[in-house]
């Protein structure tokens, strides 16, 4: 067996493992709902900006209006999602990925 064939069989074994399937399940269980929630939030902002101009132009404090606050909250939510994903990956994904990598490395050695 050539090195290339051996490498691909190690990857195929890793992909077929229960651990890899669990890793994919955990990744998708967090990522898909969070992506849907963020896209909904973003589209709401776009829709309000286009069709609810009276609401978006309401002044909250001085020249700061609802549109500006919601726009800034888009940035805040983006950074929060990145931080939350980092925590999720560190606790729920990285340990399984490390196990899969160590098993693959031991098979490849």
* Res 35 pLDDT > 70: yes
Q: What band does 73 get if pLDDT is binned at 50, 70 and 90?
A: very high
State pLDDT tens for residues 82-96: 999 999 999 999 999
pLDDT at 4: 59
Number of structural domains in the chain: 1
* Res 109 pLDDT > 70: no
Percent of the chain with pLDDT over 70: 92
Question: Phi and psi (nearest 5°) for 15?
Answer: -65, -30
Structural domain boundaries enclosing 28? 3-108
CB atoms inside a 10 Å sphere around CB 24: 13
CA distances from 73 to 31, 43, 77, 87, 108 (A): 20, 13, 6, 21, 47
CA distances from 56 to 24, 41, 47, 53, 73 (A): 40, 15, 11, 5, 14
* Res 5 pLDDT > 70: no
């Amino acid at each position: 067996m050539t090195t290339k064939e051996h490498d691909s069989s190690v990857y195929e074994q890793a992909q077929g493992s229960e651990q890899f399937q669990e890793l994919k399940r955990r990744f998708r269980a967090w990522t898909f709902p969070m992506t849907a929630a963020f896209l909904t939030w973003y589209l709401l902002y776009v829709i309000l900006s286009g069709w609810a101009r009276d609401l978006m132009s309401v002044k909250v404090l001085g020249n700061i209006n609802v549109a500006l606050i919601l726009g800034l909250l888009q940035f805040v939510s983006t950074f929060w999602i990145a931080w939350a994903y980092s925590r999720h990956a560190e606790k729920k994904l990285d340990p399984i990925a490390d196990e899969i990598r160590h098993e693959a490395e031991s098979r490849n050695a």
